[in-house]
Amino acid sequence: MTHLEHDGDSLVLAVTTKSEPGRVMGEVNVRLTSVDSRQSEVGWILNPAFQGRGYAFEAATRMIELCVDDLGSHRVHAELDPLNAGSVALCRKLGMRQEAHLVEDLFYKGRWSDTGIYAILASEWRQRHDLRPR
């Protein structure tokens, strides 16, 4: 996919490092959830061998910048397992707030799981990074 323009369009990118350009550490993704309401969703998966070094923060920051600056998103959210302490901490570090905790809303790997929803508005993102609105 070379551009995102319709509800449900998504982009998945590999996370690599300059020191090992061919080695994939994980992935980040963005999905347009509503073009009319200017809503996007971001996500990430990182190999445990690379966690705790700031790679996920850097990659997720770039994805939110893509949503706000290039896609014109008004609101960017992430849906995650609220038991995943690393992803919860990453959302908070990114400036996202918890908006919902859905209880047993997802049947996953043979059991019912919860979903946490974290989000940030474009205006909050710009203020956090001292950027002017576009």
Residue 86's pLDDT is 94
Q: How many CB atoms lie within 10 A of CB 114?
A: 15
Alpha-carbon gap, residue 54 to 56, rounded angstroms: 6
Residue 133's pLDDT is 56
CATH superfamily, with its number, for domain 10-128: Gcn5-related N-acetyltransferase (GNAT) (3.40.630.30)
Q: Mark out the alpha helices in the chain (DSSP H runs).
A: 55-65, 85-93, 122-128
Answer whether 89's CB lies under 8 Å from 52's CB. Answer: no
Gap between the terminal Cα atoms of the chain: 25
Q: How many CB atoms lie within 10 A of CB 86?
A: 14
Alpha-carbon gap, residue 121 to 111, rounded angstroms: 33
| pLDDT tens by residue, the chain, 134 residues | 567 889 999 999 999 988 887 889 999 999 999 999 999 999 999 999 989 999 999 999 999 999 999 999 999 999 999 999 999 999 999 999 999 999 999 999 999 999 999 999 999 999 998 765 55
Residue 1's pLDDT is 56
Residue 85's pLDDT is 95
